Structure 1
Amino acid sequence: MNWLKKLLNAITPENKLKIENETEQEKPKEEDTPQPEKPTVIRPTLYDCIHESGHYLVSLLFPNEIRINSLNLDKSQFKSEWNGQLHITRTTPYESTDDSEKLMLIFCAGMVATTIFSHGKSYVLANLSNFPRNPAMMHTNGGDDDNIAIRNLSATVGRDARFHLQGRWVMWNGYQAIFNYLMEPAVWSSVELIAQTLFESDAFKMSHDEIQALLADHGKLEELNGPTAAFLAARYPLTKTKLSQMI
């Protein structure tokens, strides 16, 4: 019945009143029926929008493995403890270690983005060797589910016969890789653009096509080509040396 809920939510208050009045005219008049209270709209914070925009930008790195559907901060549509949701579809098997590593990076990106936003790029660059080994320096923005997924995926990658690494090293390496990527000027300005657009929106939701159009209108898609190519060339194919490097 999600389509019905969306339809009802789209009707203006005036039309809703008109429909309710027409319905009442068909019934015998008894006593006034109390109207249900309108649900309270919980606006996302700018931190929420930054967090989900970080997930989105890193998902763009992997178009062959991930199909992005939408970015949603309407809290009435998902678990109450979540602050937002990036809706993606996996297009490759879960069993692949390489795919698990890419998914781990996508999960890292939300907390990395809110940490950069919270501390500022200059502070993060000066203290990057401490991220994320000092958890107190990370701004999680309610990323408990992200944390669980990151730990599980990094352990899966570390157990691969090619690497034999502790999961925490894979996790720390992934965090630092995403810190460096998101702090690229073209990437970070795209994070801020998407976040600000979502924050100022009344719908709290954008489809992948809408975000792509937004980035294109501001010249961001072309700007992202350089940092994207550099990141992929430096990180892949995965090797034990690349996964164990720390700043």
Structure 2
Amino acid sequence: MTIHPTAIVAPEAKIASDVEIGPYSIVGPDVTLSAGVRLLSHVVVEGATTLGEGCVVHPFANLGGPPQHLGHKGERTELLIGPRNIIREHVTMHTGTASGKGVTTIGSDGLYMVGSHVAHDCSVGDFVVLAKGATLGGHVAIGDYVFMGGLAAAHQFSRIGRYSFIGGLAAVTKDVIPYGSVWGNHAHLEGLNLVGLKRRGFSRETINALRAAYRLMFADEGTFQERLEDVAEIHAGNPEVMEIVDFIRADANRPLCLPEREV
């Protein structure tokens, strides 16, 4: 364990034997730092916060601060960060709320660029990238392999499906289907995240099936519900297409990002 003499570390904190805590960092009493964690300098880790193995946290990040929620009365809530995340300068991640899930969860192997923010009660998957200044409101749920562009923002309670792409400066106020690509203010669906799918090694057959399902689902004929049922029937054996169908069916009360219609 390496702790710089200028760092302030509560004796109650649970710290693995090979953790590195850099200059002027502060570690609170209810913090757990797992094996291989590195706090480079000027990092604040407070609240009931756990950092998974191998996380690297850059200067001036604040992890585990209380939620920005007027209903929060100081209850003990948590922030759980999975292994091998890279957390860059000025990133903020807050604990949950007692009226919500009580915990904010971050998956593994993510990259959180300068000034990005994860609010209370969010659930973030594995291999997620939040570019510079990207912001998640409270209770946002993000699936694995999502890329969120610089200065984009997701409204509270939004759902963002796996492998989707959020363009820079996008204002996401509606749910984003898995494999989707959205941008704009307010954000609208621009198609599938084809670049991301190819980079992640999805087969040509899978991509073609997703494209066919997308064209049918967002066609002009019939109602959206009718088209959704047609997609589910035609592509019942395709797990990627059915992931989109199941995502939409899981919360029919949530508005969905849709393609813009020509006037």
TM, length-normalised to structure 2: 0.22
Greater RCO, 1 or 2 (C-alpha within 8 Å, sep 6+) = 1
Q: Which is richer in strand?
A: 2
